[in-house]
Chain A
Amino acid sequence: MMYTRKPFMFIAFLTLLAGACKNDEANVAPTDDNEAITTVTLTLTNKAVPTEIVTATIDNLNTTADFSKATLNLKANTTYTGVVTLLDKTKTPALDATAEIREKANEHLFVYTPSTGLSLTVTLTDRDTNPAPGPYPIGLATEMKTGAASSGKLKLVLRHQPDTKNGTATPGTSDLDTDFTIAIQ
């Protein structure tokens, strides 16, 4: 009896081992980022001449960013109205993240920082609905005033500040941090 039991157990093992491979792992799910931002577009409209529109786009932000269309050529001593849009192209159809941020405007803030030497001032023109001491600016809509001819970078940072938004960049974490190239002629 002992001699039949031993091989039986061995066979039982092997069956269990073999039965273990269902091969689920061979079906690979695509990489899916819940909150990817692939594309940022900055659109500036000349306030005096509304038909004069300049746009710059940074693509593939979630992998190796494409800066080939990231340059804005602006006129000196001109006032522009600015609008920023964010897209997640990893989803089909592409997801408009701008709309989601607008919905949660009370915990988001866009911070525009022109590099030193670049003669550009940015004013945030939209307001959230935070209670007093709010409301605070959001930064989806801006007014940009150029000065003398110069060139440099415009850093765009989106801060996520749940329950901590106070109008400054300090609280929270960055959802987006990238640079546009600006040339003022």
Chain B
Amino acid sequence: MMRTSGQMGGITRIGLVVVLSVAVYSWSWAQTITCTSVLKGQILGQDNRQPLVGATLYVRELKTGAVSDSAGYFQLGQLCSGTYTIDYQFIGYKTITQSIVIKQEPLVILNTVSLVPDNKTLQEVVVTEHRSEAQQLLQTQVSLSGAALDQTRGQSLGESLKALTGLYSIQTGPSISKPVIHGLYSNRIIILNNGIRQEDQQWGTEHAPQVDQFLASRLTVIKGAASIRYGSDAIGGVILVEPSAMPTQPGIRAEVNLVGATNGRMGVVSGMVEGAFDRKLTGLSWRLQGTLKRSGYVKTPNYYLENTSYHENNFSGDLHYDHKNFGIELFYSQFDTKVGLFTGAQVGSLADLYTAISRPEPLVKPDFSYSLDRPYQAVQHDLFKGRAHLHLPKGGTLTATVARQQNTRREYDYVSFSGITTPELYLKLVTHTADLVWEHAPIRTQSGGQVGQWSGSVGFNGITQGNVRQYLFLIPNFRNYGAGLFAIERYAVGRLTLEGGLRYDYRWLRAYFLDEVTRKTYYTTHNWQNANGSLGIAYQLRPELTLTGNLSTAWRAPNVADLYSNGLHQSAVAYERGNPNLRPEQALNSNLVLAYVGKRLSGEIGVYSNRIDNYIYLKPDSVPVVRQRGAFPSYTYDQVRATFRGVDASLTYKFTEQLAFTTKNSLLFAYNKTDRDYLVFIPPNRSDNSLRYDWSRWGKLAKPYVSVTGLYVARQNRAPSVTTRQENGAVIFTGDFAPPPPAYFLLGAEVGFQTQLGKQPLSVILSGTNLANVAYRDYLNRFRYFADEPGRNILLKVKLPLAFPKRT
């Protein structure tokens, strides 16, 4: 532990030295601050001055792009200010590369680009492998990249996504944060980590996703059912964690990220080095990346939270080879974490829980420490991925992906007297996935003088999982198989784009049990199948106004925890019982988004409605379970019809070129239609408002900015009422253990700038959260019964890219 604190000090010191050195070096222009600019333009063929339909523009720095419509026009939104390299590409034409500068303007209209026909290269130049996967789908989505993502560095995945409207998180103390999309979480969300469906026992509310946030150069969230492309279960949405594109220029590049925080005395260091070869090895590129994170006891305004330390060690390696018409890639990553759980939240029984709830503060208020003891979770996630793509001579691209994931979870409870060193819970989940997708070459049609374009893909997804448990029983050993077939087709004509998708899924599950008397293994088997569809439409009402609508169905087969949980969930103070008779959840999701990009005002308003039949949830039983430690409330999985409706609205108004106001609001109304009651754990309404002032330069500092943020989170008034009754002389609560906590308001501020460190650009962000040091509790924190949320925190984030161009 002493050694750990030594390292921490080191990290903070390096950070300070880097910052102090900043002033010494000369100023130079650098990039990325605000991210609301929209890029528009037109692509023509130089030969006949006709618009090129389906031509692509690809922004190298952002690893994203857009496809031109039937009039050759394209539009790309959410761009940060900065310098970008753009490639214009089209089959049979020479690629044009252009450098552009985006300043503060909301709308950038580029000069019309004319591509010159290239008779030598008739094969297709497809940017599929560069384009953000999600952009192939016509669905409500938001993303975090560039400067906006840099602002969240050092936070967990779940916490950083809260910068987006409609996104929340369920927490277990300060270090475990699970993303929530439109009120849905766990298995109802799919996380695609570098293209692979993350499988890390995500059914547990205290199981955070095992993903290194620094791996991503872009976090995209598809809000609403997105089952067609990504598989069953995605009733709530999909989170895509996408790394930056591999380098193409020969030479070596590196990047160092440092984050230090006062609360928890947290230190994070993340490094990346990548390179590409030329001459005989042209097309070969590589990348190595790693992150080290340490945090000690987190402090609320009035006391430290005992044992809330956190360790994380991650690394990954990526190797790509791209040739004329094919490419292969190999990726390996390991995520290793040790998370201390707040000791004050450990209770032996319901009686202990009530005593703890009635205390205004935890009984034990220790001094700061980096020590990490029981109770804690130790989880390791390994991912190996291989992918190959082939541009077929007859058109289209075939992509094959195989992956193996291994998730090992060990949970160590408080031990009372035995001094035992083994965990109380051990789960090893091995997942194999295989995907094969064929994207057909765009087909152009002409009817009534209008040029339309068809694009689409068909594919197969396969998955198998094996789970092995040890020690206490929570979920059984199991084996499952899943197979899915899908087809998505999109038609673009004029200002209209239409999209339709179909999918068929088959799931098979076998759970293994041990008869405690005969010591013989027995099993039970389930299988399910389902077909789903989706329809999407996007229409450009005016050049600055776009309407997108989506209607889709999705399903989720009950998972092994829903069916067969049987045990005392000590950390949840609950005895949870599975229900083997559960039927699959079936969702009908619709949403409508209106996006506007004007000179001063820009924003997006979205409404959604998600109706879920057979929504699976834990229903409180009428009789508590009595075990050695006393009485526990008991819950059994049950099904109801639930609705999730809400509004996501974000608006930015520029008073001047320098001063802008942004408001982000998320409203959610969820209801249990069957029992005519509210659902538990539904995020309360929130409003995040900020005022930001940008300078173009300030002495030696480039693009400095200051922003002030006020976050208001309402009290959740739509929660089941807390009722009490007497049972065997003990008071038993139903609905919840305590009413939702009051509303709160948090003040934050941020200062950022860029400068030059020698020849390398350096960006620095200094931010503060909960500046007023308000003592508050959050409804979505499972430890809200026991302690306050973290108090004031000052964070320093430094990013230093290093380039070593190859000399020729």
* Docked complex: A1-56 residues within 8 A CB-CB of B: 2, 5-6, 9-10, 12-13, 16-17, 20-38
Of chain B, the residue at the smallest CB distance from A103 is B417
Compute how far the CA of A108 lies from the CA of B348 in the bound complex, rounded to whole angstroms.
Answer: 13
Compute how far the CA of A100 lies from the CA of B351 in the bound complex, rounded to whole angstroms.
Answer: 25
Q: Given the complex, which residues of B lie within 8 Å of A25, measured CB to CB?
A: 466-468, 477-479, 512
Contact B521 A9 (CB under 8 A): no
Q: Given the complex, which residues of A lie within 8 Å of B417, measured CB to CB?
A: 35, 97, 100-101, 103-104, 108, 160, 175
Compute how far the CA of A33 lies from the CA of B467 in the bound complex, rounded to whole angstroms.
Answer: 19
Contact B363 A33 (CB under 8 A): no
A22 and B466 contact, Cβ closer than 8 Å, known pairs A34-B422, A173-B352, A174-B351: yes
Cβ of A177 under 8 Å from chain B: yes
Q: Given the complex, which residues of B lie within 8 Å of A22, measured CB to CB?
A: 466
Cβ of B30 under 8 Å from chain A: no
Most B C-beta atoms less than 10 A away, residue of A13, A38, A100: A13
Cβ of B430 under 8 Å from chain A: yes
Contact A176 B629 (CB under 8 A): yes
Q: Given the complex, which residues of B lie within 8 Å of A100, measured CB to CB?
A: 417-419
Q: Given the complex, which residues of B lie within 8 Å of A157, measured CB to CB?
A: 630
A9 and B436 contact, Cβ closer than 8 Å, known pairs A35-B418, A100-B418: yes
Q: Given the complex, which residues of A lie within 8 Å of B419, measured CB to CB?
A: 100, 104
* Docked complex: B667-686 residues within 8 A CB-CB of A: none
Q: Given the complex, which residues of A lie within 8 Å of B142, measured CB to CB?
A: none
How distant is A80 from chain B, measured CB to nearest CB, in Å? 25
Cβ of A134 under 8 Å from chain B: no
Contact B420 A35 (CB under 8 A): yes
Q: Given the complex, which residues of B lie within 8 Å of A101, measured CB to CB?
A: 417
Partner of B414, one of A30, A31, A173, A177: A173
Q: Given the complex, which residues of B lie within 8 Å of A10, measured CB to CB?
A: 436
Q: Given the complex, which residues of B lie within 8 Å of A103, measured CB to CB?
A: 417
Compute how far the CA of A175 lies from the CA of B404 in the bound complex, rounded to whole angstroms.
Answer: 41
Cβ of B347 under 8 Å from chain A: yes
Of chain B, the residue at the smallest CB distance from A65 is B626
Q: Given the complex, which residues of A lie within 8 Å of B414, measured CB to CB?
A: 160, 173
Compute how far the CA of A120 lies from the CA of B416 in the bound complex, rounded to whole angstroms.
Answer: 29
Q: Given the complex, which residues of B lie within 8 Å of A37, measured CB to CB?
A: 628
Q: Given the complex, which residues of A lie within 8 Å of B523, measured CB to CB?
A: 26
How distant is B633 from chain A, measured CB to nearest CB, in Å? 15
Cβ of B471 under 8 Å from chain A: yes
Contact digits for A106-122, partner B, Cβ 8 Å, 1 yes 0 no = 00100000000000000
Cβ of B122 under 8 Å from chain A: no
Contact A34 B415 (CB under 8 A): yes
Compute how far the CA of A31 lies from the CA of B462 in the bound complex, rounded to whole angstroms.
Answer: 32
Compute how far the CA of A29 lies from the CA of B519 in the bound complex, rounded to whole angstroms.
Answer: 10
Compute how far the CA of A140 lies from the CA of B769 in the bound complex, rounded to whole angstroms.
Answer: 50
Contact digits for A145-172, partner B, Cβ 8 Å, 1 yes 0 no = 0000000000001001001100000110
Compute how far the CA of A50 lies from the CA of B388 in the bound complex, rounded to whole angstroms.
Answer: 84
* Docked complex: A48-100 residues within 8 A CB-CB of B: 61-63, 65, 97, 100
Contact A173 B348 (CB under 8 A): yes
How distant is B555 from chain A, measured CB to nearest CB, in Å? 23
Cβ of B504 under 8 Å from chain A: no
A28 and B627 contact, Cβ closer than 8 Å, known pairs A17-B432, A173-B352: no
Compute how far the CA of A27 lies from the CA of B484 in the bound complex, rounded to whole angstroms.
Answer: 29
Q: Given the complex, which residues of A lie within 8 Å of B392, measured CB to CB?
A: 2
Cβ of A129 under 8 Å from chain B: no
Cβ of B472 under 8 Å from chain A: yes
Partner of A61, one of B422, B472, B627: B627
Contact A13 B629 (CB under 8 A): no
Contact B363 A9 (CB under 8 A): no
Contact B364 A164 (CB under 8 A): yes
Q: Given the complex, which residues of A lie within 8 Å of B471, measured CB to CB?
A: 29, 31-34
Contact B512 A28 (CB under 8 A): yes
Of chain B, the residue at the smallest CB distance from A61 is B628
Contact A177 B630 (CB under 8 A): yes
Compute how far the CA of A108 lies from the CA of B415 in the bound complex, rounded to whole angstroms.
Answer: 12
Q: Given the complex, which residues of B lie within 8 Å of A62, measured CB to CB?
A: 627-628
How distant is A6 from chain B, measured CB to nearest CB, in Å? 7
| Number of A interface residues in the complex (CB < 8 A) | 50
Contact B477 A35 (CB under 8 A): no
Cβ of A178 under 8 Å from chain B: yes
Of chain B, the residue at the smallest CB distance from A26 is B512
Q: Given the complex, which residues of B lie within 8 Å of A31, measured CB to CB?
A: 471-473, 514, 516
Contact A174 B390 (CB under 8 A): no
Compute how far the CA of A66 lies from the CA of B388 in the bound complex, rounded to whole angstroms.
Answer: 62
Compute how far the CA of A178 lies from the CA of B629 in the bound complex, rounded to whole angstroms.
Answer: 8
Q: Given the complex, which residues of A lie within 8 Å of B404, measured CB to CB?
A: 20
Cβ of B28 under 8 Å from chain A: no
Of chain B, the residue at the smallest CB distance from A9 is B400
Partner of B628, one of A17, A30, A170, A178: A178
How distant is A78 from chain B, measured CB to nearest CB, in Å? 28
Contact B462 A13 (CB under 8 A): yes
A26 and B464 contact, Cβ closer than 8 Å, known pairs A16-B432, A178-B628: no
Q: Given the complex, which residues of B lie within 8 Å of A26, measured CB to CB?
A: 477, 479, 512, 521, 523
Compute how far the CA of A32 lies from the CA of B472 in the bound complex, rounded to whole angstroms.
Answer: 5
Compute how far the CA of A16 lies from the CA of B171 in the bound complex, rounded to whole angstroms.
Answer: 37
Q: Given the complex, which residues of B lie within 8 Å of A20, measured CB to CB?
A: 404, 430, 432, 464, 466
Of chain B, the residue at the smallest CB distance from A37 is B628
Cβ of B641 under 8 Å from chain A: no
Partner of A35, one of B415, B479, B516, B631: B415
Of chain A, the residue at the smallest CB distance from B627 is A62
Compute how far the CA of A138 lies from the CA of B559 in the bound complex, rounded to whole angstroms.
Answer: 46
Q: Given the complex, which residues of A lie within 8 Å of B464, measured CB to CB?
A: 17, 20-21
Compute how far the CA of A160 lies from the CA of B627 in the bound complex, rounded to whole angstroms.
Answer: 16
Contact digits for B418-451, partner A, Cβ 8 Å, 1 yes 0 no = 1110101000001010101000000000000000
Contact digits for B601-640, partner A, Cβ 8 Å, 1 yes 0 no = 0000000000000000000000000111111000000000
Compute how far the CA of A1 lies from the CA of B6 in the bound complex, rounded to whole angstroms.
Answer: 59
Q: Given the complex, which residues of B lie within 8 Å of A170, measured CB to CB?
A: 355, 363
Compute how far the CA of A170 lies from the CA of B478 in the bound complex, rounded to whole angstroms.
Answer: 42
Compute how far the CA of A55 lies from the CA of B476 in the bound complex, rounded to whole angstroms.
Answer: 39
Contact B348 A174 (CB under 8 A): yes
Contact A24 B469 (CB under 8 A): no
A173 and B415 contact, Cβ closer than 8 Å, known pairs A10-B436, A21-B479, A61-B628: no
Compute how far the CA of A35 lies from the CA of B423 in the bound complex, rounded to whole angstroms.
Answer: 11
Compute how far the CA of A104 lies from the CA of B513 in the bound complex, rounded to whole angstroms.
Answer: 36
Chain B residues with a Cβ under 8 A of chain A: 346-349, 351-352, 355, 363-364, 388, 390, 392-394, 398, 400, 402, 404, 413-420, 422, 424, 430, 432, 434, 436, 462, 464, 466-473, 476-479, 512-514, 516, 519, 521, 523, 626-631
| 12 A-B interface contacts by CB (under 8 A) | A9-B436, A10-B436, A20-B432, A28-B514, A29-B468, A32-B470, A33-B472, A34-B471, A103-B417, A104-B417, A160-B416, A177-B631
5 closest cross-chain pairs (CB), A and B: A177-B630, A173-B348, A174-B348, A20-B432, A25-B477
